[in-house]
Structure 1
C-alpha cells in the first residue's frame, strides 16, 4: 500500500488533451419510445435562424475556456440534425472556422434520419464541409421499425443510404438488436442487409429500457438475456468475417475508418458541447470541469440571450477521475496504452494499483507494462469491471 502522503492530491497537466466540438440539435419529427436523449418533437416547426444564432453566440461565449486550442473533430448530434437546412449547417461551420483553429483534416460528422432525407440536403451538407454521415437506420424490418416508433420504412432506409453514398465516402449505419419479438435470424438479416451497402462503419446497439422513456413505462416483449447474448455474439462474428474491426463495445469499422470523434471521448479527450442540453468536458492546467447546458430549447435560447447558457458546472475531483477515465477507456476492446492514463488524468497508475489488481484477480482485466485492456469476460461484464474503480464503492 502506497502511503497517502506520497500520492498527489492535486491535478496538474503538462499538456491538455485533444479537443472536439459537439453541436446538439434537439428537435426530431417524432420522439421514439426508446430514446432517452435530449430530443423534442418539432410540433409546428421551430425557428431555425433563432437556434443557429444561439449556437453561434454560445460558441462565442465559450471561447475563453478553449482559447488557442485546435479542434480536431466536430459532431452534429440530436435529436435529428438533418432537420436543419443546408444553409444552416453552412453558416454554423463557417462561424466555427472563423472562431476556432479547426484542423485542416477535421472529421465533421452529422447524424441523419432516413425519414428526413432529401438528395439536395445531403449535397448541401457535403458542400458545407460535413465529411462523415451517421444514419439512424435501426432495422431493415418494417415490423420492427414500427415497434420502435421510427418514421421511415425499410425501403426508405435503403433509398436514403443510396442517396448518401452519392455524396459521402465515410458513412456510419446505426442498427439495434434485441428488439421486440425479434429472432436471431431477423437480427442477422438486418446486419446482412447493411453489409450489402459496404458502409465504412457500423454501430450495433442492444436495445435497453432507459428511465424516462415510453418503453420503460410500458415495457414491450423483448428477447431474454440468453437470446440477446446469442444475437450479440452472432453479429460480432458476422461483422468480423466481413472485415470489420470490433474496436468498441458497440462500434465496428473497416480498417482506418474508426470514428475519430468517439475515439476522443473514449480516450478521455476534451470536448466542448454547445446547444440545448449539450455536455462538455474541459481540462485546464489544474482541473477538469464538466458542464451541461439548459435542456429545453426555448430555455436554452433565452439563457444564451442572457449570457448564461450553462445550467450546471462540476469540477471533477481527483478521486472521481480514475472512474471517469475507465468508464470511457475500458469500452475499447483493445484497451489503452498505460501511459495514456497518466497523460489524460495527470495521475500515476500507482494511485489505482489496488483496483487494477482486483480487476485482474477477477479475470476482468489484463495488463502488461504497455497496455491495459478488458478481457473478453470484462467486455461482457463491463459494469462489474467499472464498479471496481468507483471512488465511493466502499
Structure 2
C-alpha cells in the first residue's frame, strides 16, 4: 500500500481497482435496475473504447502511481464488445496505469451473445475471469424474466466459457415467479454439474425504476418459502465445497472474486464509462463520483472533459454506515483495525453502536474480528441501521 501523510485521517491508501461500464444490451430485462440501454440503433464499440481511455486519462491525477489490483467490465452486456475493441481497451488501460501482473480481469457475459472464437479472443486479450448471467436453467422462468437466451444456450455458454477460462462465475436468481424449492435447487445442481469456480445466488426483488415495478409486478414466493430457498441453497453449495463468503457469493477455495472483495473491504475503485460509480480516497477524505448515465451524454462529456456528473465528499458521520454497508456483507467479517485504516475515524466513534449490535445478537467479536452473526446475516438491514447516524445523509 502507498503511505501518505494525512494527520487525523487515513495513514495508508487502500487497494485500487478499476470498474469499466458497458451501457448497451440487446434487450432490457424487466427486473433490471442497472444503467443499461437497448442497442436499438447499434453502437460504435471502437469509439466507445476510445472514450473510455480518454475518461481514464482525465482521472489519472487522482490515482497517479497507484497499482490497479483488478478490473471488472460490467454492464449492460460487455460481451457485445467486438474482440478488437476489447483488446484495444485493455491494451490502452495497461499503457496508462500500473496494472498488477496477476490482476484479476473479469468480463460479464450474456449467454445469448456467446461465440467460441470471440471468447477465445477475449482470453487472449487478457480477460482471465468470466461472469455469466444465467439466472435460471428453466425455460419458463427465463421467459418470465425476459431473458434473451434459453436453457440450451445457457448450458452451451458455460461449456464454452469453461473451455477458455479456468475461473468462471455463474449468476443465478431464486425466489422467481412461481418457483418451487425443488426448482431453485435444480438450478444450483445444474450449475454445479459444470464445475464452475464461483456462483452468485441473488434473491429476485422488484426494484423501483424497473419494468416489473412500473407495470404489473409478478407474484413471487412468500418470505417463508424464499427463506427456505436461501437456506437450502447455502447448504447445497456448502456440501459441494463452496465457501459462502459474502451475502450472495459462493466460491471454491482460492476463487473468491478479488474485485468484489475490494468493494466489501472499503477499498478504492475508479469507475469509468456511462453511469459508472467510483470511490477514491484523497488527502482531504473519501470521495464518490458518478459519470453521466446516458451514453450520448457520457460521450459528449468525455469530449468536453466533463464526464463526471456528480462528485461528493463522504461526510464523517456517513463514513461508519458506508463502511459497514460494505464490510458486513462478508460472512467472515473483517479485522477490527480495518475500520480505522479505511475511514480515518477513531474506534470510539462506533464503540457504543458495536456494543448495541452485539447485545442484540446481530454482531459477533472474536480474535480481533467483527462479523455478522447468523441472525445478523438474515437481518442485515437492521444491523446496518445501527450505524446510520441521526441527521447523516448517505450518498452513493
Q: Give TM-score scaled by structure 1 length.
A: 0.96
Contact 1:24 1:278 in 2 (8 A): yes
Contact 1:107 1:131 in 2 (8 A): yes
CA shift for structure 1 position 161: 0.6
Tell me the alpha carbon deviations over residues 98-157 of structure 1, each in whole angstroms, 9 at most, x when there is no partner.
Answer: 000000100000000000000111001000000000000000000000000000000000
Give the equivalent residue in structure 2 for 1:365. Answer: 363
Give the equivalent residue in structure 2 for 1:285. Answer: 283
CA shift for structure 1 position 52: 1.1
Q: Given the alignment, which residue of 180, 183, 198 partners 2:180?
A: 183
Gaps of 5+ in 2: 1-6
Would you say how many aligned residue pairs link Structure 1 and Structure 2? 385
Instruction: Kindly indicate whether residue 25 of structure 2 is the aligned counterpart of residue 28 of structure 1.
Output: yes
Tell me the alpha carbon deviations over residues 304-323 of structure 1, each in whole angstroms, 9 at most, x when there is no partner.
Answer: 00001000011001111110
Give the equivalent residue in structure 1 for 2:250. Answer: 252
Distance in 1 (CA, whole Å) between partners of 2:146 and 2:359 is: 44
Q: Which runs of 4+ in 1 moved over 6 A?
A: none
Q: 1:369 to 1:164 in 2, by over 3 A?
A: closer
CA RMSD across the alignment: 1.0
Q: 1:369 to 1:346 in 2, by over 3 A?
A: farther
Distance in 1 (CA, whole Å) between partners of 2:142 and 2:304 is: 41
Q: Given the alignment, which residue of 42, 48, 53 partners 1:51?
A: 48
Q: Within 5 Å, which residues of 2 pair with 1:82-101? A: 82-101=79-98
SS of the equivalent of 1:111 reads strand
Give the equivalent residue in structure 1 for 2:189. Answer: 192
Q: Within 5 Å, which residues of 2 pair with 1:69-80? A: 69-80=66-77
CA shift for structure 1 position 44: 2.2
Give the equivalent residue in structure 1 for 2:292. Answer: 294
Q: Within 5 Å, which residues of 2 pair with 1:1-394? A: 12-217=9-214, 218-368=216-366, 370-392=368-390
Q: Give TM-score scaled by structure 2 length.
A: 0.96
Point out the more displaced range, 362-371 or 111-120: 362-371
CA shift for structure 1 position 339: 1.1
Contact 1:16 1:285 in 2 (8 A): no
Give the equivalent residue in structure 2 for 1:6. Answer: none
Gaps of 5+ in 1: 1-9
Distance in 2 (CA, whole Å) between partners of 1:228 and 1:97 is: 44
CA shift for structure 1 position 393: 6.3
SS of the equivalent of 2:28 reads coil
SS of the equivalent of 1:221 reads coil
